Structure 1
Amino acid sequence: MSGTFTDVLPPAVLSRHRDLLVAGPSRETVWPVPSRILASTVAPDDGLTAVTTRTAARTMVDRLVRDVPALARERTGVVDCTPSHDEVRASPRERYWSVPSPVDLTGTSMAVHDCMETLGEQGAGDRHLVFDSLSNLLMSTDSETVTRYAHQLLLLADATDAMSVFPIYTNVTDGTDFERLKHLFDGMIRVRRRDGTREVRCVGIAGAADGWVRLPDVGTAPGAEAD
């Protein structure tokens, strides 16, 4: 079966499922799908907090603004947890917060809270949340801790009636860890590649398309996956 992303997840369905786990075998397979979810959700006056543990903050923001048509750069904040700096830094005017390590979960939670508060003060409507990958955390922190942390971030986003999108890569994530985490979410989107084309399947999402759906329009621009 082939279709567009709105065929898979109509806006009315997305409005009832606000916390989504996006699971696939690798970063390269999963990467475009969170942006497509946000593109179907974000309204012109909404804001977005992006949390990155690997990709450079500027690259991640550029990518999201490019791929989510209604998203404005001035309503996009980023929490930079890449291990490229050695101190906490906050620049609300620039909507940028840095935390020295992706496993500084307390610092990251506080930064996400501050970012969402700042976006609200700057006039954003719903304030959505996207995390680059829970798998990056699971490689250095136990799953119980990561589960508590993800739950805390979901509560922050739920308080603003927003969409939360969390990718996970099954090629580097233990099956037990994956099972523990998936129960936090309203629903899950599985992603795979067949014959060079991405396919998605919705799990636990009432009203979504049944079975695997090919998404030929979910491509990756040349160089887009390079950090």
Structure 2
Amino acid sequence: MRKIKYFLILFFLFYPAIPYTYCEIQRFDFIPEQSRITFFMQSTLHDFDGIAKEFDGFAEGDIEHIAETGKGSLKIKVKSMTTNHQKRDEYMMGDMEEGKYFFITFFLKSAKPSYVSKDKSKARLEITGDLEIHGTKKEVGIPVDVMTVDGRIHIIGQKEISLKDFKVKPTSFLFLRVKDKMVIKFDMVGMKNDVLRNVEANKKDN
């Protein structure tokens, strides 16, 4: 009888951890050269877009238990953002106070799947996290499509934000007034952490 009681005590103590024992948690580090972050804005004269050239981050989790295991972050260097127009970029850096707020960051807080393929290689998620722009942090939700193949992850999504929410007031120049809304689109490619280490090791050997 004592053995049975002892077994039951151990079972209930460790039961919460049992489902995660079989999780296949994988970490993918984003590859800037293969990823793309773009932003789209409107003005009184015309629409324009730009890209972020310098960023890093990662995505981690097990797709079957993504709500419990999902982690991730993204850090964008503000100074690397460009619209390919020197004067407009100068105003943008001033509005973003690049000398004071060096980065735009996103830290994942939760991920909820609405679809997962049978082979677990594709999923549709609603991710929620803290987005910080211009020193102001807001919780945002973003729908994303995720695909994994050959040790890589592919994450695609977009989010419309209000610049006012982040205390950014676009400067008007000449006859152009930039509107408040900005659409951020991302197409992130990440390599599985152990694969990435092997690739970097091979580069050093060569």
TM bracket, shorter-chain basis: under 0.3
Q: TM-score, normalised by structure 1?
A: 0.22
Q: Would you tell me which structure has more strand in proportion to its own residues?
A: 2
Q: Which structure is higher in RCO with an 8 Å CA cutoff and minimum separation 6?
A: 1
More helix by share: 1
